[in-house]
Structure 1
């Protein structure tokens, strides 16, 4: 029987904690038997605030990067329209990250449950640590 490996996308807040050598975050990540991903939107967020480019590159290097493609854009558009029609909006970056995860069937590891929790009804899977 083939073993199914989890696909976990690391959100920017998780990556920042890793860059700061936060032991709780590192232990939580090491406890998972998974392939780790991040989105190009997360790369943008992390890179715009980096202090040391070399350290940022080392942090990102082992992760599988997934881009915001056309199908992710359609997913994001559908979600934003649905939210807007209900009087709700979500920051575009979080919307794009969520759409990429939904589109590529990635679980999202984030500490920003307030924002991303609103995307669960659209199929976003959040990882609990």
Structure 2
């Protein structure tokens, strides 16, 4: 069953590209309780040839963090700041990063360059 998280502060958040590498046997994941954002869930399932199997795999391995008011507020604040400085990024990436920032997560990704400018907002990498 997919579950939302409440109250924990030391989670790890995983992006779609890392999930794909894991499923294809290209990498191992750290031994830790693992969580993904609802955006990652969406991206992963829509890209799989067998969506039912993908959903089952995710339900077995990960808990899903669903966007709440706090995450949306954080994403909006960051978006406004990035817009003012002319540094806007893709909305999906912004929402995934906002989950990590708001919930004090470390973000695991192969595409650090897409997120590097968000370190000043508190984003940390695994």
Same fold (TM over 0.5): yes
Give the deviation of 1:63 after TM superposition: 0.5
Provide the rounded CA distance (Å) in 2 between the counterparts of 1:19 and 1:55: 11
Match of 2:121 in 1: 122
Structure 1 residue runs of 4+, over 4 Å off? none
Give the deviation of 1:6 after TM superposition: 4.6
2:80 matched to 1:81? Answer: yes
Unaligned stretches of 5+ residues in structure 1? none
How many residue pairs get aligned? The number is 117
Assess if the C-alpha contact under 8 Å between 2:12 and 2:106 holds in 1: yes
Provide the rounded CA distance (Å) in 1 between the counterparts of 2:64 and 2:107: 13
2:20 matched to 1:21? Answer: no
Provide the rounded CA distance (Å) in 1 between the counterparts of 2:71 and 2:52: 29
Provide the rounded CA distance (Å) in 1 between the counterparts of 2:121 and 2:98: 9
5 Å-filtered alignment, 1:1-129, equals 6-22=10-26, 25-26=27-28, 29=29, 32-61=30-59, 62-127=61-126
Unaligned stretches of 5+ residues in structure 2? 1-8
Listed one character per residue, the Cα deviations across residues 91-116 of structure 1 (whole Å, up to 9, x for unaligned) are 00000000011111111110010111
Give the deviation of 1:85 after TM superposition: 0.4
Structure showing greater relative contact order (alpha-carbon pairs closer than 8 Å, 6 or more residues apart): 2
